[in-house]
Amino acid sequence: MARALLGRLATFLVSLLVASAVVFALLNLLPGDVAGVILGSSATPAAVDALRHQMGLDVWAPVRYLHWLLGLLHGDLGRSAFTGSSNGPLIASRLAVTVSLVGWAMFLAVALALPVGAFAATRRRHLSGTVVSVFSQLGMSVPAFLAGIGLVVLFAVKLHWLPANGYTPLMEDPVEWLRRMILPSVALALVQAAVLVRYVRSAFIDVLSQDYFRTARAVGWTRRRAIIRHGLRNAALQIVTVIGLQIASLLVGAVVIENVFDLPGLGALLLKSAQNRDLPVVQAIVMVLVALILAINMLVDAAYLLIDPRLRREGGNSREEAAA
């Protein structure tokens, strides 16, 4: 098992290195001049050239990439082109908001999708199971920002139960923090739960057709006991795979939701920095998001080894076997 984990760690590090080169190349191929944007259209060419030299933009691109990469290895995310402040503390404060939003959304999505998906599988030949499947299909077609607007209209504007936007730090007021996280978390979770329900339903249908499940029922186990003892464990590989992919999707969806609910997370900072062409900040945020997604994929692969002992013995590729 240790060998398999080391292999996945090596894959993560190589993927991270390749991703850093791609992120740097794409952002530095964008048209426009950061120094010109900072100084404005009235700046003289000499002033623009001086600022480019100060920011190191006149250095050959591969050399700039190596300097940036070495900085990343030492925990240096660079400095903002506009304020000159370090990107690390700024991104760390925003990352806490995004992680809490994604964490709550994923918890709610899984808590809703597991029982609903299992119900849809066991009742697939009944009207109730069909209704659940139809609603999950409809939920997949609703954009997260539209769900967020609907929740704001209902619970903030009409019922006045929850605040429509804004953010309160957890350490400042935990109750107010929770109240302000409910609507954005639910908006982000609903669409993901609809997607997850389809996969949970499919995974449980596959389990229900297996001999070990029919044997458990034949020896007198109730359907609920058989599903809990056999269904959850044997469907876990497929469900964990989808959850890993969903978390990556949630990180992307958080960019939109944070702007809908005026949350000071990475998404809001990314859009603001992109509008200002503050490429060092954009570059650092994108790299942090890529690192998070790759880390999640590595953890999902590690979870396969814990869930299924056969993968530890066989040393196979867990992701491919889970999808099989």
pLDDT in tens, 117-175: 888 888 888 888 888 888 888 888 888 888 888 999 999 899 889 988 888 888 888 99
User: What are the residues whose beta carbons fall under 8 Å from the beta carbon of 198, sequence distance 6 or more?
Assistant: 117, 133, 136, 137, 140
User: What are the residues whose beta carbons fall under 8 Å from the beta carbon of 199, sequence distance 6 or more?
Assistant: 117, 238, 239, 242
157 burial (CB, 10 Å; 0-12 / 13-18 / 19+) is: exposed
- Mean pLDDT, the chain, as a whole number? 82
Q: Tell me which residue has tokens 């469900």.
A: 239
- Cα separation, 261 vs 180, in Å, equals 9
- Which tokens go with 242? 């989808």
C-alpha separations of 248 from 43, 196, 255, 289, 292 in Å: 42, 13, 12, 9, 8
- Cα separation, 236 vs 68, in Å, equals 40
C-alpha separations of 4 from 12, 47, 234, 304, 305 in Å: 12, 55, 21, 11, 9
Check residue 33 and give its pLDDT. Answer: 67
User: What are the residues whose beta carbons fall under 8 Å from the beta carbon of 95, sequence distance 6 or more?
Assistant: 265, 266, 288
CATH superfamily, region 88-323: MetI-like (1.10.3720.10)
Check residue 43 and give its pLDDT. Answer: 73
Check residue 321 and give its pLDDT. Answer: 47
State the 10-residue block means of pLDDT for the chain, 324 residues long: 76 89 83 68 77 75 88 87 84 89 90 87 84 84 85 90 88 90 91 87 80 78 74 72 79 84 88 83 90 85 68 52 47
Check residue 191 and give its pLDDT. Answer: 85
Chain-centre distance for alpha carbon 138: 22
Query: Is pTM, for the whole model, over 0.85?
Result: no
- Which tokens go with 100? 């809490």
Does residue 101 contact residue 254 with C-beta atoms inside 8 Å? yes
The residue extents of the domains of the chain are 2-73, 88-323
Check residue 185 and give its pLDDT. Answer: 92
Does residue 240 contact residue 304 with C-beta atoms inside 8 Å? yes
Chain-centre distance for alpha carbon 123: 31
Closest CA to 321 of 304, 298, 302, 299: 304
Check residue 236 and give its pLDDT. Answer: 73
